[in-house]
Structure 1
Amino acid sequence: MEFFKKLTLLVLMMLCFSYCGSKYQTQMEFPQEIARTYYETEKVDDQQQAVKLSFYIEFKEPLSEEINLQKVYFRNQIGEIKKVSNKKYLAHFIQSPVIQDIILDSDSRKEYGNKPPVIVKSKFELNKDEAMLEYQKNGDTIYFKLREIARAQ
């Protein structure tokens, strides 16, 4: 009986530690001062349905070599970050409307081929003016929430 108590306690402890290890490592402050974050939009095609969103992060000082920006999560999309200059980084998102043919009929059997919309749940709960920045520092993946992201005029 003592063996089962110890085994149960050991299993519970392992579950607790594995849960804590799977949480995201977020920081309240970024290691360097961010000058501003903003985004721009432009139409991609002639029908003006697809929109290209460019997301910018500008730093006051050149980014330290030990920090490697990876991705940005913005408006339920993920963008790879590219270096524009020592102080400026950019990520692109393409937003295109999904046009799906739906069969509507009084006979429900004819509507059988309709597919329900695919709703992708975001990895993070963010407001419209917030983004999550993923970066690596000394081999660790860290997340930082960017707030008050403005639209460039």
Structure 2
Amino acid sequence: MKHVYFLFSSIFIFSLFTNCGSNKNLQEKAPAQFGDAYTILNGQSLSLHIPVVNIQENQVSLESVYFRGMKSPLKQNEQIPGEYVARFNTKDPAMVMSSDPKEEYGNKPPQKPEKSPVKLENNEALLVFVQNAATKFYKLEGIVEKD
């Protein structure tokens, strides 16, 4: 009986440490001042647009984002200053299959699912950023879909 009690208490303590560790870098305060984030579905891809009103670029670097079971790098939008965009492949692209490897050169691999470190709803994203050489997370909420 003592062994069973020890086993269950060890599992309980271990689960406490692992759950706390995953949320320790989740920030309550935003690393920048954001506008309203939105998504656009375009054929085989989904793009997540994050308008940034104010950011201290010398202290904060926006790296990537988790959204709807996928992870994608954030890049500055070339057409709209101050906006970051992440692109997600939502459908498997048509692949060229050939005995000649040169014909298969343009094939893009499908985007693999990647689990977020925290639970996210369908209209939430987890922003990954670097501040003072430490990787941190911030949850974006209220993401809307645009046509």
TM-score range, shorter chain: 0.5 to 0.7
Correspondences of 1:68-147 after superposition (within 5 Å): 68-84=61-77, 86-96=81-91, 122-123=115-116, 124-147=118-141
* Shift, 1:33, TM fit: 1.4
Larger Rg: 1
Contact 2:70 2:114 in 1 (8 A): no
Q: Return the alpha-carbon distance in structure 2 between the equivalents of residues 64 and 33 of structure 1.
A: 12
* Shift, 1:120, TM fit: 5.4
Residue-by-residue CA offset, 1:101-142 (whole Å, 9 max, x unaligned): xxxxxxxxxxxxxxxxxx957233111001100000110111
> Closer, same or farther in 2 for the Cα pair 1:96/1:20, shift >3 Å?
closer
**Consecutive unaligned residues in structure 2, runs of 5 or more:** 1-13, 94-111
**Equivalent residue, structure 2, for 1:105:** none
> Residue 129 of structure 2 aligns to which amino acid in structure 1?
Y
> Closer, same or farther in 2 for the Cα pair 1:120/1:34, shift >3 Å?
closer
**Consecutive unaligned residues in structure 1, runs of 5 or more:** 1-14, 44-50, 99-118
**Equivalent residue, structure 1, for 2:143:** 149
> Residue 85 of structure 2 aligns to which amino acid in structure 1?
L
Contact 1:67 1:136 in 2 (8 A): yes
CA RMSD of aligned residues (A): 2.7
* Shift, 1:52, TM fit: 0.5
Q: Return the alpha-carbon distance in structure 1 between the equivalents of residues 18 and 48 of structure 2.
A: 33
Paired residue total = 111
* Shift, 1:66, TM fit: 1.2
* Shift, 1:62, TM fit: 4.8
> Closer, same or farther in 2 for the Cα pair 1:71/1:64, shift >3 Å?
same
Q: Return the alpha-carbon distance in structure 2 between the equivalents of residues 80 and 121 of structure 1.
A: 13
Report the more deviating stretch, 87-96 or 28-37: 28-37
Corresponding residue SS for 1:143: strand
Moved over 6 A (4+): none
Q: Return the alpha-carbon distance in structure 2 between the equivalents of residues 56 and 132 of structure 1.
A: 13
Contact 2:59 2:131 in 1 (8 A): yes
> Closer, same or farther in 2 for the Cα pair 1:63/1:55, shift >3 Å?
farther
Identity %: 22
- Report the TM-score, using the length of structure 1 for normalisation: 0.62
Q: Return the alpha-carbon distance in structure 2 between the equivalents of residues 146 and 53 of structure 1.
A: 17
* Shift, 1:38, TM fit: 0.6
> Residue 29 of structure 1 aligns to which amino acid in structure 2?
K
> Residue 143 of structure 1 aligns to which amino acid in structure 2?
F
- Report the TM-score, using the length of structure 2 for normalisation: 0.65
